[in-house]
Amino acid sequence: AQSVTQLGSHVSVSEGALVLLRCNYSSSVPPYLFWYVQYPNQGLQLLLKYTTGATLVKGINGFEAEFKKSETSFHLTKPSAHMSDAAEYFCAVSDQRGYSTLTFGKGTMLLVSP
């Protein structure tokens, strides 16, 4: 069975600081990995995903994530936080069955202070 662990239910940064949201996964097969963002009272928006190929994945809004197989990690980063980045972020893993496969982490709320 696959699982996702997001370290820290809340992460606080100052505007302009580095954003680092941590995600570790377990999967019995090579995983597909995802990051989603959710703004208050909205649905989830796909930020980026890793399927195959380059392990450094760039997404929308200046975010990127690196797949590290040896560490079973897929941490999300952004060099400089903006106030508009304040939201909840979810990491997810897929086991390649093609349906009902996404397992989500519990989410990390990113707080950005001026």
Partner 1 sequence: SQTIHQWPATLVQPVGSPLSLECTVEGTSNPNLYWYRQAAGRGLQLLFYSVGIGQISSEVPQNLSASRPQDRQFILSSKKLLLSDSGFYLCAWSVLRDPTDTQYFGPGTRLTVL
Residues numbered 19 to 38 that lie near partner 1 (CB under 8 A) are 32, 34, 36
**Binding residue for partner 1 (CB under 8 A) from 3, 42, 61, 113?**
42
Phi, psi of 60 (to 5 degrees): -80, 165
With respect to partner 1, which residue has the nearer C-beta, 19 or 35?
A: 35
Q: Which residue has the tokens 């940064």?
A: 13
Q: Minimum distance from CB of 36 to partner 1 (Å)?
A: 8
Instruction: Specify whether the CB–CB gap between 48 and 60 falls below 8 A.
Output: yes
State yes or no: residue 102 binds partner 1 (CB under 8 A).
Answer: yes
Q: Are 75 and 63 in contact (CB under 8 A)?
A: no
Binding part of the chain for partner 1, among 11-19, 53-61, 78-86, 90-98 by CB under 8 A, reads: 90-98
- Give the separation between CA 91 and CA 103, rounded to whole angstroms: 8
Does residue number 89 form part of the binding site for partner 1 (CB under 8 A)? no
